[in-house]
């Protein structure tokens, strides 16, 4: 089956998007679960993730991915950062600050990334992204974390929010959040929560 046949089968106008899907697979595994459709603060938009692949270093990709979520970088800004980094001797942080400096106003978001237990990984890997996110949303509510959205992958989870989110994390204790999320997810998995 050709790329053109694949594109036609899934009702795409051309093979460009299929090429982008394949390119996104080059992102580090810990970033791939963050890729999603639409504009949401808790994940990397498809086009922004594609632009992220234009950075050749995994560490730099992770730095910019965090900035996408914490600073709300657009795909255009990610493209600018990648171009600036690839065409200059500037560090990734300098490129990021330069592009952010072009904004009229910077909106700050807070990002928390935690890991899942090895016992939960295989079960989570069998679930859909939607089912995993539903489990994480329940854990967020159960913990009383305010103004947060998130994504749950088989190995990692990511929470994103505003000042209120940061304040609630401080109240709970940032050092406790990972263990408590792990425990709540494990309990949900034991109870068969979000079956798919």
Measured over the CA atoms of residue 138, residue 74, residue 47 and residue 13, the dihedral's sign is positive
Single out the residue of 131, 163, 171, 170 nearest to residue 147, CA to CA.
163
Q: Do residues 85 and 94 touch, judged by C-beta distance below 8 A?
A: no
When pLDDT is averaged across residues 112-140 and rounded to a whole number, the result is 94
Distances (CA, A) of 116 to 91, 111, 171, 177: 31, 16, 22, 12
What proportion of the chain, given as a percentage, has pLDDT over 90? 63
Predicted confidence at residue 167, as pLDDT, reads 93
When pLDDT is averaged across residues 154-180 and rounded to a whole number, the result is 92
Predicted confidence at residue 104, as pLDDT, reads 81
Question: Burial, 86: exposed, middle or buried (Cβ in 10 Å; 0-12, 13-18, 19+)?
Answer: exposed
Q: Which residue has the higher pLDDT, 144 or 7?
A: 144
> Does the structure show a pLDDT above 80 at 177?
yes
Predicted confidence at residue 40, as pLDDT, reads 67
> Does the structure show a pLDDT above 60 at 194?
no
Query: Kind and range of the H or E element at 10?
Result: none
Predicted confidence at residue 33, as pLDDT, reads 85
When pLDDT is averaged across residues 149-154 and rounded to a whole number, the result is 93
Single out the residue of 59, 45, 50, 7 nearest to residue 25, CA to CA.
50
> Does the structure show a pLDDT above 90 at 127?
yes
Q: How far apart are CA 165 and CA 161, in angstroms?
A: 5
Predicted confidence at residue 20, as pLDDT, reads 82
Q: How far apart are CA 130 and CA 128, in angstroms?
A: 5
pLDDT band at 195 (very low <50, low <70, confident <90, very high): low
């Amino acid at each position: 089956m050709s790329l053109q046949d694949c594109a036609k089968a899934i009702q795409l106008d051309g093979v460009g998007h299929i090429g982008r899907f394949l390119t996104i697979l080059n992102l580090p595994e810990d970033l791939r679960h963050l890729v999603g459709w639409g504009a949401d603060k808790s994940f990397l938009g498809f086009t922004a993730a594609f632009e992220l692949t234009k950075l050749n270093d995994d560490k730099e990709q992770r730095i910019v991915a965090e900035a996408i979520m914490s600073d709300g970088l657009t795909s255009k800004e990610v493209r600018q950062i990648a171009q600036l980094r690839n065409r200059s001797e500037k560090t990734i942080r300098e490129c990021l600050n330069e592009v952010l400096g072009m904004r009229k106003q910077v909106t700050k978001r807070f990002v928390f990334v935690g890991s899942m237990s090895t016992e939960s990984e295989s079960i989570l890997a069998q679930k859909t992204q939607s089912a995993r996110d539903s489990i994480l949303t329940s854990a967020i509510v159960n913990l009383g974390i305010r103004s947060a959205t998130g994504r749950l992958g088989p190995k990692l989870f990511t929470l994103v929010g505003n000042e209120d989110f940061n304040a609630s994390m401080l109240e709970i204790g940032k050092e406790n959040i990972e263990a408590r999320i792990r425990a709540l997810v494990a309990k949900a998995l034991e109870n068969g929560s979000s079956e798919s």
